[in-house]
Amino acid sequence: MYHGTSKQSAMSIKTQGFRPSKEGMLGPGVYLSRDLLKASRYPLDLDESQRVVFKVKVNVGKVIAIDGQRHPMKYNWHDYGYDTAWVPPGCGMVPSGLEENCVWDPKRITILSTISPKVSKEQQGYQY
């Protein structure tokens, strides 16, 4: 999988590991995608020159598909024993239609490498 971040945050992640966000589309966790182009767009408010992408290996554990805005476990999936929440592609959860994952425990994530963001001409300016 991939995780897009700022160059500044990347230094902290390398030394201290991932820290789960306190909130987000699926609640707390570390947000990742199997789609490099999606991860390359983050953080949305930074120029591409200020971003990096981590290529990571993830032990996803028990996974739940959150396939709609009104899913009953959208924010509390971890309370039901799930390790990862997965948003399938094309389900209407994100404007891009691309998949996304939220991993509860950052210890399940191992950094493999740091790469430059990849943004296609069609995706430049598209908000994910």
Which tens digits make up the pLDDT trace of 16-75? 999 999 989 999 999 999 999 999 988 888 888 889 999 999 999 999 999 999 999 999
Pairing mode, strands 51-58 and 109-115: antiparallel
| Token pair for 9 | 């945050």
Q: Which helix (H) or strand (E) holds 39?
A: helix 36-39
At residue 42, the pLDDT reads 87
| Token pair for 111 | 């950094």
The residue type found at 71 is H
| Token pair for 48 | 């591409």
The residue type found at 44 is L
| pLDDT tens digits, 69-82 | 999 999 999 999 99
Q: Is the pLDDT of residue 128 over 60?
A: no
Q: Which domains, from first to last, does the chain contain? A: 2-117 (3.90.228.10)
